[in-house]
Amino acid sequence: MWITDALAAPVDTGAVDVDGATVRYRAWGPVGTPGLVLVHGGAANARWWDHIGPLLTRTAIHGDPHRVVALDLTGHGDSDRREQYGLETWAREVLEVAGPAGIAGRPTVVGHSMGGMIAWVAARLFGEHLAGIAMIDSPIVERTPEEEAARAKRAFGPIKVYPTRDDALAHFRFVPPQDAAVPEVRDHIARESMREVPGGWSWKFDPALMTRSGNEHLGADDPRCRTAYLRAEHGIVTDDQMADMTARFGESAIVAEIPDAGHHVMIDRPLALVAAVRVVLAAWAATRENDSPSD
């Protein structure tokens, strides 16, 4: 089965210091090739991409290899925690992980939900250092879906400790809620979203990240690099939000919808997501080739 093969694919792990904090990453594909940085959503982690990353190591028109890197943003997964979090800090982490993790040249940033917001901020701050960004069902608005849930006290209260791993697994939920999922993907993500702590098992994120700072770039309309947006048909982005964002992305942006997908596209339509990202990268590669001087 393709999921089994993807999860068994060879993976490199490493860490980079960014502004005094250790940022950990996972990577697939040959070192020293062009590549992608995959950015997870709020309260998620790099393991959400384990079944996606290996499938993106060959993405260009001619099948050229790619280095694919998925990082744990600080406050998430196995990376360090900070006293304060912000979109700008996370954007720097994304940029500074790319080279040490083995990507040659300017990386393409692919972000889901809050990760797409971070990709947008990275494009605003460091666009000349990026090959492009692709955002996946990301509301480029003031607060993330996770922050809205925390403010409404629907999720992300004080971290709970469960006596056993099975008990913790029984309490795993997606935010925003989503029932549709490939079972093997859901189970893998759930297992890799917790760690053993004194007294039992708990989640791999810092609740303080829900009070992050940095909204000033989200209403802007100057991404400063190639831009693509992949909307989930059954996701969280409203028609009004989509119209506003499309106008800000500019006429050259690639905008598409992934059919019958919920907000967490990688758990219910993973192969459709891989295909969409591949098409975006192929379109950009074709544009570069067409723009090259002829002999």
**Which sign does the torsion angle of CA 273, 8, 168, 185 carry?**
positive
45 close to 74: Cβ distance less than 8 angstroms: no
Asked whether residue 57 is assigned to any structural domain, the reply reads yes
Angle, CA 292 vertex, CA 288 and CA 295 arms, to 5°: 150
Average pLDDT, integer, range 147-161: 62
Q: Could you tell me if residue 193 is inside a domain?
A: yes
Tokens of 3: 């999921």
Q: Is 244 part of a structural domain of the chain?
A: yes
Tens of pLDDT, residues 186-208? 999 999 999 999 999 999 999 88
Owning domain of residue 24: 2-289
Residue 81 DSSP one-character state: P
**Over the stretch 96-148, which tens digit does the pLDDT of each residue have?**
999 999 999 999 999 999 999 999 999 999 999 999 999 999 999 866 665 65
Percent with pLDDT over 70 in the chain:
88
Pairwise pLDDT comparison (28 vs 147), residue with the higher score: 28
Q: Name the β-bridge partners of 69.
A: 27, 37
Question: In the chain, what are the helix, strand and coil shares in percent, each to the nearest 5?
Answer: 35, 25, 40
CA gap 95, 104 in Å, rounded: 12
pLDDT of residue 279: 94
Q: Is 256 helix (H, G, I), strand (E, B) or coil?
A: strand
255 found inside a domain: yes
Is residue 294, in this structure, part of any structural domain at all?
no
**Residue 295 counted as domain residue:** no
pLDDT grade for 63, boundaries at 50, 70 and 90: low
With respect to residue 6, please indicate whether it lies within any of the assigned structural domains: yes
Position with higher pLDDT, 89 vs 1: 89
What are 229's strand-pairing partners? 135, 255
The CATH number of the domain holding residue 26 is: 3.40.50.1820
212 within some domain: yes
3-class secondary structure, 205 = strand
The count of domains in the chain is 1
Percent above pLDDT 90 for the chain = 79
Statement: residue 292 has pLDDT above 80: no
Mind listing the pLDDT tens digit for each residue in 206-242? 988 877 666 668 878 888 999 999 999 999 999 999 9
